[in-house]
Structure 1
């Protein structure tokens, strides 16, 4: 296969987690459907409607990638996951739901400088999620993000 025939695609986001059982319960409680459960707690896969969210033990993921598993960062990692919504009310409801299920609210929903509305939460392992509605980015009836051409 030549480099010209390679088609780039984003298929899976894998998060390193400290406690598989806790993280599996958290993401299931958010409403993500767990798939391929035959993997038990070795790795967990969730259908997100377009890509897959995978959970894997932090130390095993670091070992697999060939990087040290400590020290674990306590500061912002320079990455966020996004949950796009149709309205400000949906942003607020999603933030409240995540916090109710064990997330840490980092920033409540508020107007953005680009005309949107967003807030942030962190999952039990500190992975940061932005919950947002943004002008020009539409969430369709299929719950997928649709970008303008």
Structure 2
């Protein structure tokens, strides 16, 4: 019987998206205002400061290969994951959605009142990765750009 290992400190540090055209995806996320870091990687991989976990972009086929998963068929339906851009107000939600659309995003769902007392809408990036833009009770966005959750 083996000895139980101590639990490591849990961390979500990077969310990496597989993209078709890394140059176009870099331009899209740069245009949204995320700050690119480690530019020394060129167009092999891109990292953006989001105020929380790092957003990584990596060519779709190479990311699949790195994870030892098949590259094909690529999903054209919901992938079971959404990203979120939490806001401080309903007006900010509307502003972020309009801004993302202006930069090349596709509107998936217009902003609306939610059944939990919030306000949200969805856009997709050029590769179809869905982003929820929301303001919600118990979820505060601090001056540090981080989300703070009520107890």
| TM-score normalised by L of structure 2 | 0.96
Alignment of 1:28-67 (within 5 A): 28-67=30-69
Measure the CA separation in 2 of the matches of 1:104 and 1:54.
Answer: 20
The aligned counterpart of 1:24 is: 26
Structure 1 unaligned blocks of 5 or more: none
The aligned counterpart of 2:80 is: 78
The aligned counterpart of 1:100 is: 102
Measure the CA separation in 2 of the matches of 1:142 and 1:7.
Answer: 22
Measure the CA separation in 2 of the matches of 1:3 and 1:120.
Answer: 41
**The one of 142, 145, 148 aligned to 2:147:** 145
Measure the CA separation in 2 of the matches of 1:3 and 1:148.
Answer: 31
Structure 2 unaligned blocks of 5 or more: none
Measure the CA separation in 1 of the matches of 2:81 and 2:7.
Answer: 29
Cα distance, 1:140 vs. partner? 1.4
Q: CA RMSD in A?
A: 0.9
| TM-score normalised by L of structure 1 | 0.97
Partners of 2:35 and 2:48 within 8 A in 1: yes
